């Protein structure tokens, strides 16, 4: 047996489909071992001589289930895979051909379009939360489509100083050839020899049930004298758990569990306490120098706040796009648990300007990074937006490279020097101080209709040598602010809509957004496809 595919699974609705995909597209001598952690598969797994099913009546955790599958594996190599993935034809053969004893390898990662919601009248809605048809109101059923999107094609990963996983677009630009090095891994798919899997204790159960798997696997592989490579000759497609409560994490994961896993990585790997290491941790940092967060610039984070009342298709696409920034995300969700972000906060109350201020302040309370970006749920952020670093800690910076797009027809407008909260990047302490004072003023005097910091300096006291600071910058590509029926502020589609003509300076209209194309309903739906 050449390869054993290990799939830990608990309440995974796409497990049978994932196994069928592996069997259909494998060309080598490959078996599948599914570890059912605490429950039977539904729908059930069809009987196949190449499939072994382990069942644990009581949940033992994702790491333990993966190890149990590895212990009964017969393959020379093992590949751990999430239970919601699709694969290219011959993926196993293409991986095995390039495997060596000291290599940990993963295919290129794409996104998986697994399902749509369809009603009897033929209307379809892209994967997301369940519910009636948004066009006719009829009930919908999940229809599996199982399409691997052509983009993004992720090959470059890292981690920050807290050992938190990050995408690394800058490294991708430096990767050349079919077999490229990566500092870390995503964790949903990796392959190594079975012998090395156990020698390195690659899935250490003391890390906890879940979390840090890609970081643990990659760092142990590098520090033990091995290599971590992405095989660009093949790919897999992964369904991310950003599709609403109908496809959320099957384990009761808490922030403390995630913190425990990251703490273990810091205490054991970062602190050079792993007994199988032949290199110090600093060696890995130097190998990939310069590494963001380690070698240059302040730590950054995203404060994402949402009222959960917008068109779901808008919110889902905006969240999907936000992940491309590769920064920690603090998600502050109104009246709903949202399975998105690294820190997840639910607040209850009435949607409106005051609540928006409270959500931002709550996110800033949890933010540990030096620099914060304020991000709204109906804005498509280009990754270049997050490359900016504030020059001064006492200044509010606004990215004014933004087009406003009318939903659903895609008509777009532009004005120069447009300052809005969704474009703010600033020192976290400055923002925290401002929003603390702002909330105090709102509680005492009510909301005065002014959203953007710093507001009136006489109220907030932002004087620096007689000047309070805002500065504009423009990222290399624009953000797209989607205007729809649920916006808090009024949309302006003509110069005459502005009470002060100065704010209409540079007025432009277009049917396509530079760098994005046509941003009508269909264009946004197909974004990234």
Question: Are residues 466 and 365 part of one domain?
Answer: yes
Position 133 in a domain: no
Tell me what pLDDT residue 465 has. 35
Q: For the chain, how big is the Rg over CA atoms in Å?
A: 24
Give the single-character DSSP code of 44: P
Question: Does residue 134 belong to any structural domain of this protein?
Answer: no
17-31, 380-394, 431-445: which is most confident: 17-31
Higher confidence at residue 186 or residue 452?
186
**Other CB atoms closer than 10 Å to residue 512's CB: what's the count?**
15
Whether residue 242 is predicted with pLDDT greater than 60 in this model: the reply is no
280 and 350 both lie in a single domain:
no
What is the pLDDT averaged over residues 401-406? 94
Residue 27, pLDDT score: 98
Is the whole-model pTM more than 0.75?
no
The answer to whether residue 125 is domain-embedded is no
| CATH number of the domain to which 200 belongs | 3.90.550.10
Residue 25 phi/psi, 5° resolution? Answer: -105, 0
- Angle at CA 18, nearest 5°, toward 17 and 20? 65
Task: Answer yes or no: do 227 and 309 share one domain.
Answer: no
**Residue 139 domain-assigned (yes or no):** no
Note down the domain range covering 222. Answer: 3-112+149-238+252-286
What are the residues facing 97 on neighbouring strands? none
Angstrom distance (rounded) from CA 432 to CA 368: 11
**Confidence band of 209 (pLDDT split at 50, 70, 90):** confident
Close Cβ partners of 280 (under 8 Å, ≥ 6 residues apart): 223, 272
Confidence of residue 254 (pLDDT cuts 50, 70, 90): low
CA-to-CA distance for 162 and 520, rounded, in angstroms?
39
Q: Are residues 201 and 318 in the same domain?
A: no
- How many domains, the chain? 2
Query: CA 194 to CA 246: how far, in whole Å?
Result: 34
Residues 271 and 342 in one domain: no
DSSP output for 398-439:
EE--EEEEETTT--EEE-TT---GGGEEEEHHHHHHHHHHHH
Q: How confident is the model at residue 462 (pLDDT cuts 50, 70, 90)?
A: very low
Task: DSSP letter for 348, please.
Answer: -
Residues 445 and 352 occupy one common structural domain: yes
Q: Are 75 and 31 in contact (CB under 8 A)?
A: yes
By CB atoms closer than 10 A (0-12, 13-18, 19+), residue 35 is buried
Give CA torsion, residues 25, 30, 35, 40, to 10 deg.
50
Measured distance CA(209)–CA(205) in Å, rounded = 7
Q: What is the mean pLDDT of residues 485-494?
A: 72
Q: What is the mean pLDDT of residues 366-389?
A: 93
- Asked, for residue 339, whether it belongs to a domain, the answer is yes
User: Which helix or strand (DSSP H or E) is residue 113 part of?
Assistant: strand 103-119
CA end-to-end span of the chain: 36
Do 343 and 258 reside in the same domain of the chain? no
Query: What CA–CA distance (Å, rounded) separates 418 from 401?
Result: 8
Q: What is the mean pLDDT of residues 352-356?
A: 94
pLDDT tens for each residue of 297-347: 788 999 999 999 888 889 999 999 998 888 889 999 999 999 898 899 999
- 153 vs 233: CA distance, rounded Å: 12
Dump pLDDT digits (tens) for 269-281.
Answer: 999 999 999 999 9
User: What is the CA 278 to chain-centroid distance, rounded?
Assistant: 32
505 confidence band (pLDDT: 50, 70, 90): confident
**CB neighbourhood size of 496 (10 A):** 9
Write the DSSP string, 438-506: HHHHHHHH---S--STT--HHHH---BTTB-EEEEE--SS-EEEEE-TT-SS----SGGG-SSGGGGTT
On whether residue 75 sits in a domain, the answer given is yes
Least-confidence region, from 188-197, 223-232, 385-394: 385-394
194 and 313 in a single domain? The answer is no
Mean pLDDT, range 65-86, rounded to an integer: 97
Are both 82 and 225 inside the same structural domain? yes
- Is the same domain home to 280 and 305? no
* 200 plus 347 within the same structural domain: no
**Considering only CA atoms, which of 79, 28, 33, 67 is closest in space to residue 190?**
79
Residue 187 belongs to a domain = yes
Q: Do 221 and 348 have their domain in common?
A: no
**What is the Cα–Cα distance from 101 to 227, expressed in whole angstroms?**
10
Query: Considering the domain boundaries, does residue 309 fall inside one?
Result: yes
Q: What CATH number is attached to the domain comprising 473? A: 3.90.550
The pLDDT of residue 247: 64
């Amino acid at each position: 047996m050449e390869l054993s595919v290990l799939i830990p699974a608990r309440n995974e609705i796409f497990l049978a489909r994932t196994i069928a995909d592996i069997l259909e597209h494998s060309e080598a001598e490959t078996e599948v071992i599914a570890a059912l952690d605490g429950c039977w598969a539904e729908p059930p797994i069809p009987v196949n001589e190449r499939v072994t099913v382990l069942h644990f009546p009581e949940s033992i955790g994702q790491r333990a289930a993966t190890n149990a599958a590895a212990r009964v594996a017969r393959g020379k190599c093992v590949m751990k895979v999430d239970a919601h993935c699709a694969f290219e034809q011959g993926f196993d053969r293409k991986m095995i051909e390039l495997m060596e004893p000291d290599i940990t390898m993963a295919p290129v990662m794409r996104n998986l379009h697994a399902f749509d919601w369809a009603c009897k009248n033929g209307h379809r809605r892209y994967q997301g939360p369940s519910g009636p048809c948004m066009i006719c109101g009829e009930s919908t059923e999940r229809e599996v489509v199982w399409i691997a999107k052509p983009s993004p094609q992720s090959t470059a990963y890292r981690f920050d100083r807290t050992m938190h996983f990050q995408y690394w677009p800058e490294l991708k630009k430096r990767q050349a050839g079919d077999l490229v090095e990566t500092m870390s891994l995503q964790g949903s798919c990796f392959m190594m020899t079975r012998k090395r899997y156990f020698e390195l204790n690659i899935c250490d159960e003391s890390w906890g049930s879940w979390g840090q798997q890609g970081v643990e696997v990659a760092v142990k592989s590098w520090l033990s004298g091995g290599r971590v490579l992405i095989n660009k000759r093949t790919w897999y497609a992964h369904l991310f758990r950003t599709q609403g409560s109908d496809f959320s994490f099957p384990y009761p994961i808490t922030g403390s569990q995630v913190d425990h896993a990251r703490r273990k990585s810091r205490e054991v790997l970062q602190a050079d306490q792993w007994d199988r290491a032949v290199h110090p941790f600093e060696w890995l940092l130097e190998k990939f120098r310069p590494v963001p967060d380690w070698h240059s610039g302040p730590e950054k984070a995203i404060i994402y706040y949402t009222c959960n009342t917008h068109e779901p298709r808008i919110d889902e696409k905006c969240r999907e796009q936000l992940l491309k920034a590769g920064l920690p995300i603090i998600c502050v969700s109104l009246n709903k648990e949202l399975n998105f972000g690294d820190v997840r906060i639910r607040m209850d109350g009435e949607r409106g300007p005051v609540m928006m201020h409270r959500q931002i302040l709550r996110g800033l309370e949890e933010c540990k990074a030096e620099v914060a970006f304020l991000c709204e749920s109906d804005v498509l952020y280009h990754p270049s937006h997050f490359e900016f670093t504030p020059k001064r800690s006492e200044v509010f910076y606004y990215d004014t490279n933004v087009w406003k797009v009318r939903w659903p027809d895609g008509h777009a407008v532009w004005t120069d020097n447009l300052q809005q909260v969704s474009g703010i990047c600033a020192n976290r302490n400055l923002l925290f101080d401002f929003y603390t004072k702002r909330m105090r003023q709102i509680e005492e005097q009510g909301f005065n209709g002014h959203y953007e910091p710093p507001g009136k300096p006489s109220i907030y006291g932002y004087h620096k040598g007689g000047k309070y600071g805002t500065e504009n910058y423009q990222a290399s590509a624009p953000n797209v602010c989607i205007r729809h029926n649920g916006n808090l502020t009024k949309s302006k589609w003509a110069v005459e809509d502005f009470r002060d003509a100065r704010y209409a300076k540079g007025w432009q209209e277009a049917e396509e957004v530079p760098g994005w194309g046509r941003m009508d309903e269909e264009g946004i739906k197909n974004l990234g496809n």
